């Protein structure tokens, strides 16, 4: 960290596919910028050239859940070293679309990976860093599935996660909600079953007042 520079804040966005993350991250970014801080927008898996290449593999190639989990943490390690830690040290706020909560939710919740395996990788890759705030976009899996379907009709075929069953997404959601309940100071749960303008207003207010 630059001497005297305050560490930036680390904000992550989570939720099942179709929960409305992409619609609302822009509103949060604008509200953060209104506070006069520099921001870095990034995503997982991805965020670096290698991370984006790993993302492509994870979303398209068949692999075991162990391989999937290891590749996600490999991408994360690179992302932390090249983008997240340097930005935080320079006082920038990092807005990251998904982080390790997604691995607990998708790989432990959805794919039934042993949670302790994920905790081991977390301790290895970022023992000293957790998000300062995690915004969990929450909606019923049936509503989310409808949104994903409409999005896919317009653009492309489903990836390995989007083509999962509603049971998978219920398990992912349950794990997210469980993690939020265990870490109430870090998580903000936002109900995205409501009209987008209501969600946007709530997010803008929250970021204006948030003071960590």
Which residues sit at the interface with ligand TMP, rule CB under 6 A?
17, 43-45, 72, 97-98, 102-103, 106-107, 161
The conformation of residue 42, written as its DSSP 8-state character, comes to E
Provide, rounded to whole angstroms, the least separation between the CB of residue 204 and ligand TMP. 22
State in angstroms the smallest separation of the CB of 51 from ligand TMP. 10
- 43 three-state secondary structure: strand
- The residue (of 93 and 161) whose beta carbon lies closer to ligand TMP is 161
CB atoms within 10 A of CB 124: 10
* Least Å from the CB of residue 197 to ligand TMP: 22
Q: Kind and range of the H or E element at 137?
A: strand 133-138
Write the secondary structure of 92-122 as one string of H (helix), E (strand) and C (coil): CEEEEECCHHHHHHHHHHHCCCCHHHHHHHH
Our CB check for ligand TMP shows the closer of 39 and 100 to be: 100
Give me the least distance between CB of 173 and ligand TMP, in Å please: 12
Residue nearer to ligand TMP on the CB measure, 39 or 103: 103
């Amino acid at each position: 960290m630059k001497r005297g520079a305050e560490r930036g804040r680390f904000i992550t966005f989570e939720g099942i596919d179709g929960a409305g993350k992409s619609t609302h991250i822009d509103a949060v970014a604008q509200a953060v910028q209104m506070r006069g801080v520099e921001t870095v927008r990034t995503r997982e898996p991805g965020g670096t050239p290698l991370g984006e290449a790993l993302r492509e593999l994870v979303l398209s190639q068949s692999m075991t859940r162990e391989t999937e989990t290891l590749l996600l943490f490999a991408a994360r390690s690179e992302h932390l070293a090249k983008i997240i830690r340097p930005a935080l040290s320079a006082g920038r706020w990092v807005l990251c679309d998904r982080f390790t909560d997604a691995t607990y939710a998708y790989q432990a919740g959805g794919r039934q990976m042993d949670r302790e395996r994920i905790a081991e990788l977390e301790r290895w890759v970022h023992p000293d860093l957790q998000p300062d705030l995690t915004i969990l976009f929450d909606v019923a899996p049936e509503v989310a599935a409808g949104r994903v379907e409409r999005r896919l009709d317009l653009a492309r075929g489903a990836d390995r996660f989007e083509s999962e069953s509603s049971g998978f997404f219920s398990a992912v959601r349950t794990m997210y909600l469980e993690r939020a309940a265990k870490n109430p100071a870090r998580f903000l749960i936002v109900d995205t079953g409501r009209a987008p303008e209501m969600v946007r207003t709530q997010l803008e207010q929250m970021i204006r007042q948030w003071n960590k």
